[in-house]
Amino acid sequence: MQVRYSLALAALFGAPAFAAGLSLNVEVPRLNVAEYHRPYVAMWIEKPDQSVATTLAVWYDLKNKGGNAEGEGTKWLKDMRQWWRRTGRELTMPVDGVSGATRPAGRHQLAFTEGSVALPKLAPGAYKLYVEAAREVGGREIVSIPFQWPPAKAETATVAGNSELGEIKLELAP
* pLDDT computed for residue 7 by the predictor: 40
Distances (CA, A) of 103 to 27, 47, 49, 61, 167: 10, 27, 31, 10, 15
Provide the CB-side half-sphere exposure for 86 (13 A, CA).
20
Going by C-alpha positions, the residue among 130, 110, 111 that lies closest to residue 52 is 130
Q: How confident is the model at residue 44 (pLDDT cuts 50, 70, 90)?
A: very high
Query: Higher confidence at residue 95 or residue 67?
Result: 95
3-state secondary structure of 78: helix
Domains with residue ranges and CATH for the chain: 21-173 (2.60.40)
3-state secondary structure of 46: strand
**pTM for this predicted structure:** 0.85
Q: How far is CA 136 from the centre of its chain?
A: 21
Distances (CA, A) of 86 to 25, 44, 78, 99, 116: 23, 10, 11, 16, 21
- Number of neighbouring beta carbons within 10 Å of residue 163: 13
Check pLDDT > 50 for residue 12.
Answer: no
Q: Give mean pLDDT, residues 146-152.
A: 96
User: Taking a C-beta distance cutoff of 8 angstroms, is the pair 91, 117 a contact?
Assistant: no
* pLDDT computed for residue 26 by the predictor: 98
3-state secondary structure of 111: strand
Q: Give mean pLDDT, residues 111-118.
A: 94
Q: What is the DSSP string of 4-26?
A: HHHHHHHHHHHSPPP--EEEEEE
Contact partners, residue 147, CB within 8 Å, separation at least 6: 126, 127, 128, 129, 155, 157, 170, 172
Q: Give mean pLDDT, residues 114-143.
A: 95
